[in-house]
Amino acid sequence: MEDKKVIFSGVQPTGCITLGNYLGALKNWVELQNDYNCLFSVVDLHSITVRQDPVQLRKRCVDFLIQYLACGIDGESNIVYFQSHVPQHAELSWILNCYTYLGELSRMTQFKDKSAKHENNINAGLFTYPVLMASDILLYQTDLVPVGHDQLQHLELTRDIAIRFNHIYGDTFKVPEPYVVKSGAKRIMSLQNPTSKMSKSDPNENGYISILDTPDAILRKIKRAVTDSGSTIKFEEGRDGINNLISIYSAVTDKSVSEVEAEFDSKGYGDFKLAVAEAVIEHLRPVRERYEDLKKNKDYIEKIYSEGAQRAAYIAQKTLSKVHRRIGYVDRKYIKK
């Protein structure tokens, strides 16, 4: 690999990739991919913290990987793979569990949210999930992690774990930095409940736009988006629904919020919603077209993820061996076949 800084990021194969995931994370991956050595993983180990149907999960994992490529990720110059194909993630995760405090994990808001949502299955994996995420990142000596704002707390914990380990054993891990969207669409909100984030596991499909939704579905969902009883297109405190649509429009057209406000100065919600829908449809059209093409090419997809896993495992093992030596484990002498 060329001597560039390293990016690692991933999305859990749950639900379907939403406009929120795309604008908060994937769009940045695409923009950064040429300037960094990038690893983009479908983080399937994370996804079983919530119960999954095996047949669906297997299909969805492949589908997510295809969607990464359809969004514009180059699967050959970047490392694109399934997390479960690189066992070093789980190995490092066990080790780092022993360098993470219960108190730290108890403070994670995602754990609190998810345990409230899945109160019949508050498993230990849901609790230690951030340690696995830290392992994903630290295995590759990652410099930068492009994620949505909701992941900043996990990134902060990753940094704390790395600093703690380095402090005990000497320099072992690079301490990573987060990379989040700077302006506008910081968090894309649910179209039906604009005070909570657009989530890909929302049971109400009108709350989110999938990046593979048809133009008709996008138009219908945006027309139905919950807004207030006002009439002006202005980004103002407390107007969550309209603010969300402004953010979405601004992100997909690359216009600033004030440019959007000026453009719709004398227009009403109806016109604005139509414009937002059209802009989203046009933005996602090439993604859907590429997805349909790539889906037909099973051999190519298999090649991407098998080579991806091999390249990832090679890098990951270097870090894992270093960690083993630091901790005091006996060197492995068996010959790999």
Q: Tell me which residues touch ligand LTN (CB under 6 A).
A: 8-10, 12, 43, 46, 133, 136-137, 145, 147, 151, 154
In the numeric block, which tokens belong to residue 24? Answer: 């908060």
Taking CB atoms within 8 Å and a gap of at least 24, the contacts of 308-311 are 308/75, 308/79, 308/80, 308/81, 309/81, 309/82, 309/85, 309/86, 311/79, 311/81
Examine residue 148 and tell whether it contacts ligand ATP (CB under 6 A).
yes
Q: Residues 150, 205, 228, 278: which binds ligand ATP (CB under 6 A)?
A: 150
For ligand ATP, which is the closer residue by CB, 40 or 165?
40
| Residue type (1 letter), 113 | D
Query: Which strands sit side by side in the sheet containing 79-82, from one edge to the other?
Result: 79-82, 37-42, 6-11, 144-146, 177-179
Task: Tell me which H or E stretch contains 179.
Answer: strand 177-179
Examine residue 199 and tell whether it contacts ligand ATP (CB under 6 A).
yes
Helix axes 109-117, 124-139, angle to 10 degrees: 140
Residues 51/9, Cβ–Cβ less than 8 Å: no
Examine residue 244 and tell whether it contacts ligand ATP (CB under 6 A).
no
| Residue type (1 letter), 47 | S
Residues 207/241, Cβ–Cβ less than 8 Å: no
Q: Which residue has the tokens 């990720």?
A: 73
Examine residue 200 and tell whether it contacts ligand ATP (CB under 6 A).
yes
Residues 208/21, Cβ–Cβ less than 8 Å: no
Binding footprint of ligand ATP, residue count (CB under 6 A) = 21
Binds 188: which of ligand ATP, ligand LTN, none (CB < 5-8 Å by kind): ligand ATP
For ligand LTN, which is the closer residue by CB, 13 or 241?
13
Q: Of 128-136, 198-206, 230-238, 298-306, which part binds ligand ATP (CB under 6 A)?
A: 198-206
Is 296 in the active site? no
Q: Of 21-29, 163-171, 284-292, 307-315, which part binds ligand ATP (CB under 6 A)?
A: 21-29
Residues 59/295, Cβ–Cβ less than 8 Å: no
Alpha-carbon dihedral sign for residues 322, 323, 329, 335? negative
For ligand ATP, which is the closer residue by CB, 87 or 178?
178
* In the complex, minimum distance from the CB of residue 196 to ligand ATP, in angstroms, rounded to a whole number: 9
Examine residue 187 and tell whether it contacts ligand ATP (CB under 6 A).
yes
In the numeric block, which tokens belong to residue 25? Answer: 């994370």
Q: Of 12-20, 88-96, 300-308, 326-334, which part binds ligand ATP (CB under 6 A)?
A: 12-20
Task: Tell me which H or E stretch contains 81.
Answer: strand 79-82
Is 200 in the active site? yes
Q: Within positions 79 to 138, which residues make up the interface with ligand ATP, using CB under 6 A? A: none
Is 303 in the active site? no
In the numeric block, which tokens belong to residue 75? Answer: 């699967």
**Residue 149, exposed/middle/buried by CB under 10 A (0-12, 13-18, 19+)?**
middle
For ligand LTN, which is the closer residue by CB, 182 or 332?
182
Q: Which residue has the tokens 């997909």?
A: 252
Q: Residues 6, 16, 25, 242: which binds ligand ATP (CB under 6 A)?
A: 25
Nearest residue to ligand ATP, by Cβ distance, number only: 24
Examine residue 221 and tell whether it contacts ligand ATP (CB under 6 A).
no
Binds 247: which of ligand ATP, ligand LTN, none (CB < 5-8 Å by kind): none
Q: Which residue has the tokens 């490392």?
A: 79
Examine residue 28 and tell whether it contacts ligand ATP (CB under 6 A).
no
Which residues in this chain contact ligand ATP in the complex, by CB under 6 A? 11-12, 14-15, 18, 20-21, 23-25, 147-148, 150-151, 187-188, 197-201
- Catalytic residue annotation: 114, 197, 200
